[in-house]
Amino acid sequence: MKEHDHINSHGRVQDNIIDKFYNEGYDKKLYESCKDADFEAKLEGMNEALEILEQEIPAVNSFFDIIEKADVINTKARYRKENALFFVLAGAILSLFGYLAASIGESFIIGFSIFTFAILPFSLLPLSKAALTGGKNNG
Residues that bind other proteins (CB under 8 A): 14-15, 18-19, 22, 24, 41-50, 52-57, 59-64, 66-67, 69-70, 73-74
The rounded distance, in Å, linking the Cα atoms of 2 and 8 is: 10
Q: How far is the CB of 82 from other proteins (least distance, A)?
A: 18
> 38 vs 106, which CB is nearer to other proteins?
38
Q: How far is the CB of 42 from other proteins (least distance, A)?
A: 5
> 49 vs 131, which CB is nearer to other proteins?
49
Residue 27 contacts residue 13 (beta carbons within 8 Å): no
The rounded distance, in Å, linking the Cα atoms of 17 and 32 is: 10
Q: How far is the CB of 44 from other proteins (least distance, A)?
A: 4
Measure the N-to-C terminal CA separation of the chain; round to a whole number of Å. Answer: 96
Residues 6+ apart with CB under 8 A from 20: 26, 31
> 1 vs 49, which CB is nearer to other proteins?
49
